């Protein structure tokens, strides 16, 4: 067994032991009677740090353990299918520079599911706790209205015409797409040492054009703009503080920190101006990532020497002389 696999086994075992150590006492307390009402903020932050804890704190320990198992199992399961790199919000699996990419892309999609499902569950339990406590002074005084859509609304938001035609959506998608296409056409692509099979190209396309965009709108917007921004805004009384906090955290988990900070700030401003409505930002986020995914897909085809739209230049392979 490889050292990396041993490390993965250890991480999974430790994670599940910690989960049991945290969940089981709470589950026992829930059996003895309802857990004393906990603030929505504590439930949200608790679930973000400990998968499944939000459900357990809401007197649903079985659901909490199920969520934790799915989230951790799929995320860490993905690490068995590819070599890991620095953790990023869109998966930490490194795409190999030669041979097949299908295994790595399967790992990345598993990571996408586990991570974004965790993000959504964090928002969901925060949302439900806030609705249950909507008559408290804490919730009444929060200046950012709570987004009340369910998972179906979240998944369908990028495809609703009202969200797409919003002046907050199509201009930013058009502007960012124009820049991305121009940059793609001018940037050299590193040539691959081997070609890609039809399965490789298909799995890469599904991951970049579908899995990543769906994960971003479904998980990231509810977490960063629906929970973190709203919670910080309510605690500080400052919309700017809320927007900046979620933007900094959002950018820290992306490889392009500056661009991610600017885009995250725009989405935060948008949600603030639209009184907590997340759906137009979900639509913009989704379609921008679709464009990025299409360009990534074309780039990897171009790297094998194929002709693609705009045909970016291929970097020459140089053989070092020793």
Q: Tell me what pLDDT residue 250 has.
A: 96
* Residue the block writes with tokens 């691959």: 192
The pLDDT of 147-163, averaged and rounded, is 97
pLDDT band at 27 (very low <50, low <70, confident <90, very high): low
Q: What is the pLDDT of residues 201-238, one digit of tens each?
A: 999 999 999 999 999 999 999 999 999 999 999 999 99
d(CA 4, CA 83): 8
Burial class (CB in 10 A: 0-12, 13-18, 19+), 1: exposed
pLDDT tens digits for range 30-47: 555 555 689 999 999 999
Q: What is the mean pLDDT of residues 156-168?
A: 97
User: What's the whole-number mean pLDDT along residues 286-308?
Assistant: 94
**Confidence (pLDDT) at 25:** 56
Of the candidates 6, 52, 45, 68, which has an alpha carbon nearest to the alpha carbon of residue 223?
45
Q: Mean pLDDT throughout 186-213?
A: 92
Q: How do residues 259-277 score in pLDDT, each as one tens digit? A: 999 999 999 999 999 999 9
Beta strands in the chain (DSSP E): 189-190, 314-315
- Name which residue leads in pLDDT, 59 or 9: 59
Residues 30-46 as b or e (16 or more Cβ within 10 Å = b): beeeeeeeebbbebbbb
Q: 83 versus 149: which is more confidently predicted?
A: 149
Lowest mean pLDDT among 179-183, 232-236, 252-256: 252-256
- For residue 288 the two structure tokens come to 């921008």
Q: Where are the domains of the chain?
A: 3-315
Residue-wise over 285-311: b if at least 16 C-beta within 10 A, else e?
bbbbbbbbbbbbbbbbbbbbeeebeee
Determine how many CB atoms are found less than 10 A away from the CB of residue 59. Answer: 16
Does residue 169 register a pLDDT over 50?
yes
**How far is the C-alpha of 143 from the C-alpha of 131, rounded, in Å?**
15
Residue 318: is its pLDDT beyond 50?
no
Q: What pLDDT, on the 0 to 100 scale, is given for residue 194? A: 80
DSSP string for 81-128: SS-B-S--TT--BPPPSSS--HHHHHHHHHHHHHHHHHHHHHHHHHHH
Judged by DSSP in three states, 251 sits in: helix
Strand, helix or coil for residue 229: helix
Is the pLDDT assigned to residue 320 strictly greater than 50? no
No. of helices (H) and no. of strands (E), the chain: 16, 2
Instruction: Inform me whether the pLDDT recorded for 17 exceeds 70.
Output: no
Q: Work out the average pLDDT over 298-310.
A: 91
């Amino acid at each position: 067994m490889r050292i990396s696999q041993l490390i993965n086994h250890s991480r999974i075992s430790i994670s599940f032991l910690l989960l049991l150590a945290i969940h089981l006492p709470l589950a026992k307390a829930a059996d003895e009677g309802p857990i004393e009402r906990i603030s929505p903020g504590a439930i949200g932050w608790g679930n973000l740090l400990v998968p499944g804890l939000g459900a357990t704190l809401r007197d649903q320990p079985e659901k909490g353990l199920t969520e934790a198992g799915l989230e951790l199992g799929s995320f860490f399961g993905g690490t068995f299918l590819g070599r890991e790199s620095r953790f990023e919000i869109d998966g930490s699996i490194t795409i190999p520079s030669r041979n097949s990419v299908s295994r790595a892309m399967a790992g990345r999609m598993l990571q996408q599911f586990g991570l974004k499902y965790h993000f959504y569950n964090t928002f969901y339990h925060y949302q439900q706790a806030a609705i249950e406590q909507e008559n408290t002074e804490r919730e009444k005084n929060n200046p950012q209205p709570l987004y009340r859509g369910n998972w179906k609304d979240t998944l369908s938001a990028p495809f609703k015409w009202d969200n797409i035609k919003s002046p907050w959506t199509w201009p930013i998608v058009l502007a960012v797409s124009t820049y991305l296409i121009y940059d793609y056409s001018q940037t050299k692509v590193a040539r691959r040492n081997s070609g890609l099979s039809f399965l490789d190209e298909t799995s890469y396309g599904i991951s970049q054009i579908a899995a990543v965009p769906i994960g971003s709108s479904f998980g990231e917007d509810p977490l960063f703009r629906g929970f973190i921004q709203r919670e910080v805004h309510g605690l500080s009384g400052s919309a700017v503080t809320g927007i900046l906090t979620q933007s900094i955290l959002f950018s820290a988990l992306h490889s392009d920190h500056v661009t991610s900070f600017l885009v995250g700030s725009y989405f935060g401003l948008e949600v603030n101006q639209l009184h907590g409505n997340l759906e137009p930002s979900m639509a913009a986020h989704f379609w921008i990532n679709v464009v990025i995914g299409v360009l990534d897909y074309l780039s990897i085809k171009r790297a094998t020497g194929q002709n693609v739209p705009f045909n970016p230049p291929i970097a020459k392979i140089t053989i070092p002389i020793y």
